Amino acid sequence: MWDLTHELGSGLPYPGDPQAAVTPHATFEADGYRVAEVACSTHSGTHVDAPAHLLADGATLGAYDVETFAFDARIVDCTAFDAREPIPVARVPDTDADLLVFHTSWSEHWGDQRYFDHPYLTAAAAARCADLGCHVGLDAPSVDPSPSEHATDDEPTGYPAHHALLGGERLILENLRNLGALPQRCAIRAYPLPVDADGAPVRAVADD
């Protein structure tokens, strides 16, 4: 079994989002027991996006049965793609899996500003995933380009890959890690916190 989850509170938040934190509330020395306070957004750390994230009438996580988050996954090797390079539709394989996971190796930059210069899906690639009936995951902060001082004028604006997937009622798993350890086909379970919201942190694990 492989753990695909970053520790909540580690790394850098997505630009504009709050920093997740786990801080002591009660200590053994002062109170005789321990309680920690957890503060995070619905998109902190390794998390899942629901359609409500970007669609006015999009479904929240509460619309999905818990078994939805147990996926038959196909790993797509995208480690040859460079910083801020688009992943084209030709890289999307035909598959009967219900989750396509794009392995970019960008999780190696977790905690560094370079993390936000990741490869990203073109709108056409995202639409192809949705047409195949596939949810999407990746080891990067977004399926679209992230804000960065290295952004260029020829990059797409807005969130076209998000819209293609969420508009097709597909879920998006972001900030995965350890994808290089996985076989090409595996089972991935990524259960969100039980909040009926636009997204939530998940504990993602895989086995073959």
- Between the alpha carbon of residue 205 and those of residues 2, 23, 67, 143, 179, the distances in Å are 6, 25, 14, 20, 10
Measuring CA to CA, which residue among 33, 34, 32, 40 is closest to residue 14? 40
- The span from the CA of 116 to the CA of 199, in Å, is 20
163 is catalytic: no
- The span from the CA of 133 to the CA of 169, in Å, is 9
Q: How is residue 202 written in tokens?
A: 């998940």
Measuring CA to CA, which residue among 206, 202, 189 is closest to residue 7? 202
Alpha helix segments (H runs only) across the chain: 28-31, 123-131, 160-166
Host H or E run for residue 101: strand 99-103
**Choice among 6, 43, 47, 53 that is catalytic:** 53
Per DSSP, the chain holds a count of helices (H) and strands (E) of 3, 12
- The span from the CA of 19 to the CA of 13, in Å, is 5
DSSP state of 51: G
Question: So which residues are the catalytic ones?
Answer: 53
